[in-house]
Amino acid sequence: MIKRNVISFLLLCAGLSCASAQSSFDTWFEKKSLRIDFALSGNAENQQAALQQLREEPVWGGPVKNMTEPFDYGGYRVEVYDDAGGRLIYSRSFNTLFEEWRTTAQAGKETQSWSNSISVPFPRKEVRVVISGRNRASMKFSPLLELAVDPKSIFIDRGKLKNNNIIKAQYMGAPDEKVDLVFLAEGYTALEQEKFKADVEKFTESLFNTPPFDARRSDFNVWGVGLVSEESGTDVSGKGIFKHTALNSGYYTFGLDRYLTTPDMKSIRDAVWNVPCDAIFILVNADTYGGGGMYNFYAMGTANHPRTPVVFVHEFGHSFAGLADEYFSSEVAYDESFYHTSVEPWEPNITTLVDFNRKWKDLLESDTPVPTPTNDSNADKTGVYEGGGYLAKGIYRPKQHCMMRDYAPFCPACSRAITQMINFLADKPAR
């Protein structure tokens, strides 16, 4: 009896908090963005954060009901608290390229500072913003930067930025109820803007031909921002090639010839200042195989290689749904500290079996052995296969083949994570 009362009480609380979440956006926020640019500096041992600038930007394309993220993802997270009551009113997790750099050999020898940027809905009242980083060995978050933000402050930059040509490639409805995917042109000159438009259409079709995105096309708006670069292409620093482009991208990230990224987060956020934006894909006008993607940061890929439409979907898996690489034999720049096998990684599609219950255990048939032998008779079986996350031992993946390993169809664990993220960003119940 007591137990039943406790359960009813909990259900009542859950119902109340859900109802209040739906009405609270307008209490706390305006449908504009507060952009927070901040530096992360440090090395393999430690990191610090410092504020660079705050900006008021005219659009909020994110959810208005799903204001706190239900996933325990990411190497970083931003939280907004009501300054008067201390209540958490917004949260979102993300990754950075700086975090990856911290696991390279270079970070064992030198200290660097990188620019980063995150947007939250624009507060109506004074709020406290906390940016936290996760320790890879303990998986615990701790605060790196705490800010008191007065929305009326004269220290918030409210200026307009460059009005780039915005392409509305697919419009399905109000941005807060849709996932707003934004393609940015990189390495396209003024004369190549029609090509960019055609490339946006090509990659949009590639995404929506791929399960589970195919069934959810109507939950997405797709935009293109026609950034104009002085020169065509991108940097290939290892071969002495440097191009003057809008977003300063290049191959040879961390010394790897096919790892294509940019550290220039400020230019990326400047490009989307007036576009609803839940996810960024940077299309690079180059023909060499390559790309990169970090969760809720950006994904990048080349437009002109025959395999790039499928590379795009793989990289988007990283940036959109926080999926880990399921391969373990390719060359990577990270040393063994990228994943610690003594703790459960946060990514939904790999496990160390430390806490498999919160992963895809419910997707296994009851007679599936854990770990699952890698053989032909298990080719289509969802299981727990050793090898993933760059390690051949101690990390397990859900299926022998998947988009996140070798461009096969997404495995059931990846598909579910993608579906949950679409639900979250389209302002539907995430799980």
Using CB under 5 A as the criterion, which residues of the chain lie in contact with Zn ion when the complex forms? 349, 402, 404, 411, 414
Taking each helix axis from N to C terminus, what angle separates 193-208 and 308-321, rounded to the nearest 10 degrees?
70
Residue 21: DSSP 8-state: H
For residue 411, the one-letter residue type is: C
3-state secondary structure of 203: helix
User: Which of 64, 414 has the CB closer to Zn ion?
Assistant: 414
Minimum CB separation from Zn ion for residue 363, in Å?
11
3-state secondary structure of 281: strand
User: Which of 80, 402 has the CB closer to Zn ion?
Assistant: 402
User: Which of 13, 215 has the CB closer to Zn ion?
Assistant: 215
Answer for the pair 274, 177: CB distance below 8 angstroms, yes or no: no
Distance, in Å, from the CA atom of 305 to the CA atom of 217, rounded to the nearest integer, reads 25
Token readout for 37 is: 């640019």
Question: 91: closest CA among 131, 51, 52, 123?
Answer: 131
Minimum CB separation from Zn ion for residue 358, in Å?
16
- Burial of 321-331, coded b for 16+ CB within 10 Å and e otherwise, reads bbbbbbbbeee
User: Which of 220, 360 has the CB closer to Zn ion?
Assistant: 360
Greatest CA span in the chain, whole angstroms? 75
User: Which of 24, 351 has the CB closer to Zn ion?
Assistant: 351
Minimum CB separation from Zn ion for residue 88, in Å?
31
Residue 310: DSSP 8-state: H
Minimum CB separation from Zn ion for residue 253, in Å?
23
Minimum CB separation from Zn ion for residue 326, in Å?
5
Minimum CB separation from Zn ion for residue 82, in Å?
38
3-state secondary structure of 27: helix
For residue 84, the one-letter residue type is: A
Question: 123: closest CA among 165, 167, 79?
Answer: 79
Minimum CB separation from Zn ion for residue 323, in Å?
7
Answer for the pair 229, 248: CB distance below 8 angstroms, yes or no: no
- If 0-12 CB within 10 Å is exposed, 13-18 middle and 19+ buried, where does residue 399 land? buried
Residues in contact with 363: Cβ distance below 8 Å, sequence separation at least 6, in sequence order: 382, 398, 412, 413, 416
User: Which of 364, 414 has the CB closer to Zn ion?
Assistant: 414
Residue 288: DSSP 8-state: S
User: Which of 349, 420 has the CB closer to Zn ion?
Assistant: 349
Question: What is the CB neighbour count within 10 angstroms for residue 60?
Answer: 22
User: Which of 245, 351 has the CB closer to Zn ion?
Assistant: 351
User: Which of 174, 408 has the CB closer to Zn ion?
Assistant: 408
Minimum CB separation from Zn ion for residue 317, in Å?
8
3-state secondary structure of 344: coil
Specify the residue for token string 């934004």. Answer: 182
User: Which of 14, 215 has the CB closer to Zn ion?
Assistant: 215
Minimum CB separation from Zn ion for residue 350, in Å?
9
User: Which of 130, 353 has the CB closer to Zn ion?
Assistant: 353
Minimum CB separation from Zn ion for residue 322, in Å?
12
Distance, in Å, from the CA atom of 22 to the CA atom of 20, rounded to the nearest integer, reads 5
Query: How far is Cα of residue 10 from the mean position of the Cα atoms in its chain?
Result: 32
